[in-house]
Amino acid sequence: MPVSKKKPTTPTSEVSTQESSSPTLPEQEEFRQYLRRLAVSAVQVLIEQVMREELEQCIGASWGECTPNRRGYRNGSYTRDLVTSTGCIEDLKVPRDREGTFHSQVFERYNRYEPEVAEALTQMFVSGTSTHKVGEVAATLMGVAPSASSVSRLNHTLTEQYKAWRERPLLAHYRILYLDGIHFAVRHGSQTDSTIILTALGVDLEGNKDVLARLSLRGGRQRWMGLSLTRHPHPWGNADGLDCD
């Protein structure tokens, strides 16, 4: 009497789920999207600083300055939100003057030029800030050329913003760490060069993804070891898996 063969007890759906859950290296465009999202996170800092510069031009005096050219006085601030393509920025501090004559152009101009501003911030995040690049972004948001002192202050603000991100403490444990070199077209004046950005993308135990570090690769002499050094004094912790290209 023939003996019937036992069928596998593991459901087909479970097998396919196990196979699909295997970690795969994200596409380069996904890496780019996370880098752009991280760069645009500096929008709040940038916009608030630009509005303070706008108010200074409006009243004709910096904070606490005594000058015959003064046309008004500061009067604290109020908050409002700004909806962007990457999400809502809440509780932006909008400065105001005593007479109520100051009206910021930043919100209208940001909505009009959001792609250009986002791209400029990404360029600065990838290749570093400079007074020239910051000046271009400020002029776009203000509608007029900012003063040299305004550009210097904005450049310092963005530099400190990136420094705070680079030195932030990270989780002690990640489920997987993705490493890849992302190609970016970086503009230097009238020239555009192709630059490789070494990027570490971590996935925590709940599946959330976050850019942990990035490093511009120049001349082929900097490698992943150099990327890990950019996280000093708070390097990434342990990872269950590592995937790189």
* Cis, peptide link before residue 2, omega less than 30° from 0: no
pLDDT band for 110, please (50, 70, 90 cuts): very high
pLDDT of 24 higher than 90: no
pLDDT of 219 higher than 50: no
User: What span, in angstroms and rounded, lies between the C-alpha atoms of 97 and 101?
Assistant: 7
Where is 180: in which H helix or E strand? strand 173-188
pLDDT band for 240, please (50, 70, 90 cuts): confident
Q: Which two tokens stand for residue 160?
A: 């400190």
What predicted TM-score, i.e. pTM, was given to this entire model?
Answer: 0.66
Q: Which two tokens stand for residue 143?
A: 């509608």
Look over the chain and give the mean of its residue pLDDT values, rounded to a whole number.
Answer: 77
